[in-house]
Amino acid sequence: MQLHVSVAAAALAIFSLVDAAQLSWTDAYTKAKKDVASLSLAQKVDVATGIGWMNGPCVGNTPPVDKIDFPGLCLQDSPLGVRFAFNVSGGIAGLNTASTFDKTLALQRGHDMGVEFREKGVNVQLGPDVNMARVPEAGRNWEGFGEDPYLTGVMGALTVEGIQAEGVIATAKHYILNEQEQQRTTSSSNIDDRSLHEVYVWPFARAVEAGVASIMCSYNKVNGVYACENDDTLNRILKEELGFKGFVQSDWQATMSGVPSALAGLDMTMPGDITFGSGNSYFGGNLTAAVRNGSVPLSRVNDMATRILASWYKLGQETHYPSVGVNFVNYTDAPIRNVQHNHKKTIRSIGAASVVLLKNNGNALPLKTPKSIGIIGSDGGPSPGSYSETACADHGCDAGTLAEGWGSGTAWFPYLVDPYKGIKARASRTTKFKTSFDDYDLEEAVAVAKAVETPIVFANADSGEGYITVGNNPGDRSNLTLWHGGDALIEAVADANPNTIVVLHTVGPVLMPWLSKVKAVINAGLPGQESGNSLADVLFGDVNPSGRLPYTNAKKASDYPAHAVDAAEIDYTEGLLIGHRWFDAKNIEPLFPFGFGLSYTKFGYNALKVKAAGSKVSITATIKNTGKVDGAEIPQLYIGFPKSAGEPPKVLRGFEKVFLKAGHSTKVTFDLDTAKELSIWNSDARKWEVVKGSFTVYVGASSRDIRLQGTFKL
């Protein structure tokens, strides 16, 4: 059994000529300030003002400034691939990337996206999404990296690093507390300062450390003030505390004012007009007038233009940057420019590495050479027309197999390998297939199940951005049940054949009332264009599953501390207890815990060593593949703070993915920086403080499967 590691193994060795040509922030600022000093007030304002909705080839465009040979910027979605474009990769979701717990693959994905955006002439990729999966129903959870701030921070930073190494400006979004779709443009997300810093700012801080050149402020209010005119979150936290050097852009139509937004730290308004097609702007001429009448100091506009131009210079975009190769207004008028390269290999590798094996009774998987296989459920079959650019706008439907959610976080598929196609191509020529793609024809499904040796039932749960409603799901899911009668379908098949295997394509956790009746369960998430091939790699054992849940899957919906609500005030009353932290603190047993995932082999943990010296803490453990199959394990480090700190029972502070041949072992080391990872936020003093006292070390295979435990003192 062999992992597909060729792409991953090469990722960290990549040396990009683009990256080598990039400037330091200091040098970029020097060049930008010289340019800004030569511009008129109106020209400076132009740099900061989009030209309006559908007035240019990209979803966001800024005008050229000929005096300094600045061509203007092309800003384009999405966090997983180039939106509204042909000949691009139909990428894999952020949530799947998080499920790999694989830093090498996350970095490679960032590089691949950077290459495609650059070659399409896009200056600014609107991603990654580093919002938190605070509520299980939230429509855009699949765009991000799950419920844990540490995991999200690592995956977000690696994505930024990969994108920007290819000369494209990455955008960390949506800043901040944009964790649901309902009333996202009017509601206020209300939170205490400590929880804001320790949970929701955390991944943005890691993106800033990675050098992210743009951050997008969100639609919602934060403690009663709109995010794009919030002095506390933009100026005090982002620019002063975190030292962010790039530019803050608004989400599309998230600029709610002129003078207050400018003073609070907004640097660029997108797409420029107040409402789509209105022809007027809060910036533009209004900002110019505000400077002239003294409402906004000239230094603020200088700063806006400097930050934008410095980001452009820093990424080396002033020389040899490709012309714009997308056309948002008329897709077919864009230049024909195939930018896919071999990126399907990365997508396939991440797809397989993100498969989470949730149950495998009697070693039902991997499949040996079954005489017959049944593919049951619409999610197992083709998606006729539903993912094309015309048949289903922004993937706002759920017909056939699910490989991306819906909304602005999507990219068109150049092709989509459905599960039936992928499994059939990999299976033995002697294996017979029977299919039933009608979710509601239980009689046919049962007939197929009884006629085959191995029935595989496919079901899904979809979600997306709130401007599209699918069924009764206004972006956010209305519940956590499977779509299209999936639960009833699984029950019927399981009752007909005890060898039933379930494959789920979901945007997050789902309820599983049928769990005890089936042999095996796989959650494949949203695997992108190589969906069926990635799944077949795992089903037949070509890849040993190593995916881990980046969220907690509860037994019942009421076990979660927060839900998507249609309300004007959204109170983050759970504070620090997001996700698995809540389940630990309240002693609630999940159906499947955060970090959980099975393998086709077994791993042993031993020889824990903890060394605390000065500002560094080093923790080592030995991991051994005690089974008979080669595979990868993901040891996870959790830290229990002294009780006086008021932290959750344990917080994630490290993870590593290690591949081990059967019978082999390796030492894993976790190095902690006390100033960052063993500190808490002091709201009164407005600073991070290292906690003193006795800490507990937990090393295990999930948040609930702790194998080793130790202590250290600071």
Give me the active site residues, please: 251
Q: Which residue has the tokens 């533009």?
A: 284
* Integer CA distances (angstroms), 402 to 79, 83, 281, 674, in order: 18, 18, 39, 42
Handedness of CA 441, 443, 447, 449 (dihedral sign): positive
Beta bridge partners of 687: 682
Handedness of CA 621, 622, 625, 631 (dihedral sign): positive
Separation between Cα atoms, residue 557 and residue 456, nearest integer Å: 26
Query: Residue 572: which of 132, 130, 207, 172 has the closest Cα?
Result: 132
Query: Residue 157: which of 199, 237, 212, 197 has the closest Cα?
Result: 212
Separation between Cα atoms, residue 580 and residue 11, nearest integer Å: 31
Is 422 in contact with 348 (CB distance < 8 Å)? no
Query: Residue 506: which of 379, 593, 392, 597 has the closest Cα?
Result: 379
- Scanning 243-283, the segments in alpha helix (DSSP H) are 259-264
- Scanning 410-485, the segments in alpha helix (DSSP H) are 419-426, 442-451
- Scanning 461-526, the segments in alpha helix (DSSP H) are 486-496
Separation between Cα atoms, residue 351 and residue 89, nearest integer Å: 14
Looking at the chain, the number of H-run helices and the number of E-run strands are: 20, 27
Which of 571-581 are b and which e, b meaning 16 or more Cβ less than 10 Å from the residue's Cβ?
A: ebebbbbbbbb
Query: Residue 220: which of 251, 191, 185, 175 has the closest Cα?
Result: 185
Cβ partners under 8 Å of residue 424, min gap 6: 433
To 5 degrees, how large is the angle CA 15–CA 19–CA 21? 120
Is 80 in contact with 92 (CB distance < 8 Å)? yes
Separation between Cα atoms, residue 206 and residue 210, nearest integer Å: 6
Is 547 in contact with 597 (CB distance < 8 Å)? yes
DSSP code, position 295: S
Is 396 in contact with 468 (CB distance < 8 Å)? yes
Query: Residue 82: which of 247, 324, 312, 270 has the closest Cα?
Result: 324
- Scanning 170-316, the segments in alpha helix (DSSP H) are 193-195, 202-209, 231, 259-264, 284-292, 298-314
Which of 355-380 are b and which e, b meaning 16 or more Cβ less than 10 Å from the residue's Cβ?
A: bbbbbbeeebbbbeebebbbbbbbbb
* Burial group, residue 514, by CB count within 10 angstroms (0-12, 13-18, 19+): buried
Beta bridge partners of 609: 620
Q: Which residue has the tokens 């997983």?
A: 80
